[in-house]
Copies of this chain bind each other. A is one copy, B any other.
Amino acid sequence: MTRVLLTGFEPFGGERVNPSWQAVWRLAAAPPDGCDATAVQLPCVFGAALDTLRAAVERTDPEVVVCVGQAGGRADLTVERMAVNVNDAVIPDNAGRQPIDAPVVGGGPVGYFATLPVKACVAAARTAGVPASVSQTAGTYVCNHVFYGLMHLIATQRPAVRGGFVHIPYAPEQVLDRALPSMPVTLAVEGLRAVVAAAASQRGDIAMLGGATH
């Protein structure tokens, strides 16, 4: 059995739910064959989110870590390619803090690539019937903060872990009257299950289109 750690976030930005937590909670209850999954909810708070993540890694000793967040406005499941060493918040976090251009880890490298097989994960989600693509940026808010912190932890202490970050769209209930893209949580769960299965079963990535001209 592959030990998998999944994280989702509490609601933020005035939302009443966060589909990332709804999704990973369900996925942990029905993980892919051959996987044993734990789901942990992270606060949407700089610093505290990473503390919770680190404690969960310590506790569960995972081989695969997939952190999941809400990307309001995106239309598909996106597997993030890289984390960047900056906290630059356009809205306050849930503790009221709003760092501007501060490093996630002082002295850390500018960026880390996910150690998930990013394109294999995208392809797996599509095969499962879930619209998916590679994202070139996870932003500079708490999602990226957690992603960078995870990859720094992996780089410095747990090099064998395959880890990364996946963004999912709003749930339909969040955009009933907003004409914004959404994805039912059940569909996001199917996509995430395929992502986890791909991450658990293969280390190398596949050659597939997934870049951006800008």
The DSSP consensus for interface residues of chain A is: loop
Residue from A76, A126, A178, A205 having most chain B Cβ neighbours under 10 A:
A76
Chain B residues with CB under 8 Å of A87's CB are 211
**Which residue of the partner chain, among B69, B84, B101, B213, contacts A143 with CB atoms under 8 Å?**
B213
Stoichiometry (number of copies): 4
Q: Known A89-B211, A211-B88; judge A119-B136 contact (CB<8 A).
A: no
Residues of B near A61 (CB, < 8 A) are none
Residues of B within 8 A of A119 (CB): 101
Contacts of A111 in B (CB 8 A): 82, 84, 109-111
> Which among B74, B86, B167, B184 is the interface contact of A187 at CB below 8 angstroms?
B184
Once the chains are docked, how many angstroms separate the CA of A110 from the CA of B177? 26
Chain A 15-44 interface mask (CB, 8 Å, partner B; 1/0):
000000000000000000000000000000
Sample of 12 A–B contacts (CB below 8 Å): A70-B214, A75-B180, A75-B181, A90-B213, A100-B209, A109-B111, A129-B173, A131-B172, A133-B177, A136-B140, A139-B213, A140-B211
Instruction: Using CB atoms, name the residue of chain B closest to A134.
Output: B88
**5 cross-chain pairs, A with B, having the tightest CB-CB distances, nearest first:** A88-B211, A111-B111, A140-B211, A181-B181, A110-B111
Query: How many residues in A have their beta carbons less than 8 Å from beta carbons of B?
Result: 61
Q: Nearest Cβ in chain B — how far from A105, in angstroms? A: 13
CB distance from A91 to the nearest CB of B (A): 7
Within 8 A of B (CB), among A92-125: 100-101, 109-113, 119
* Cβ of A134 to closest chain B Cβ, rounded Å: 8
Q: Are B178 and A141 in contact (CB under 8 A)?
A: no
Cross-interface CB contact of A91 among B182, B184, B213, cutoff 8 Å: B213
Known: A110-B109, A131-B178. A72 touches B213 (CB 8 A): yes
**Residue A55 is within 8 A (CB to CB) of chain B in the complex:** no
